[in-house]
Amino acid sequence: MKRRTFIGSSVAATAGLLTTTKATAIGNQKDQDNKFKGNINHSVCRWCYSKIPMEDFLQNLNELGITAMDLTGPDDWPLMKKYGIHASMCWGAGFGIEKGWNDPQLHEELVKDYLQMIPKVAEAGYTNLICFSGNRRGMDDSIGLKNCVDGLKQIIPIAEKHGVVIQMELLNSKVDHKDYMCDHVEWGVALCKELNSENFKLLYDIYHMQIMEGDIIRTIRDYHEYFGHYHTGGNPGRHEINETQELYYPAIMKAIVETGFKGHVAQEFIPSWEDKIAALKEGVTICDV
What does the pLDDT read at residue 35? 85
Q: What is the pTM of this model?
A: 0.88
Write down the domain spans for the chain.
1-33, 38-287
Residues 6+ apart with CB under 8 A from 233: 205, 206, 207, 208, 239, 241, 268, 269, 270
Q: Residue 208's Cα: distance from chain center in Å?
A: 14
Sheet holding 128-131, edge to edge: 41-44, 264-267, 227-231, 200-205, 165-169, 128-131, 86-90, 68-72
State which fold the 38-287 domain adopts. Answer: TIM Barrel (3.20.20)
Please give the average pLDDT of every successive group of 10 residues along the chain, which has 289 residues.
40 42 42 78 98 98 98 98 98 97 98 98 98 98 98 98 98 98 98 98 98 98 98 98 98 98 98 98 98
How far CA 194 is from CA of 21, 120, 261, 278, in Å, comes to: 61, 26, 22, 43
**For helices 276-287 and 249-258, what crossing angle results, to 10°?**
50
What does the pLDDT read at residue 33? 55
Main-chain dihedrals φ then ψ at residue 241, nearest 5 degrees:
-100, 30
What does the pLDDT read at residue 34? 58
What does the pLDDT read at residue 288? 98
**Torsion angle of the four alpha carbons 123, 124, 128, 129, in this order, in degrees rounded to the nearest 10:** -80
**For helices 216-223 and 249-258, what crossing angle results, to 10°?**
10
> 202: which strand partners?
168, 227
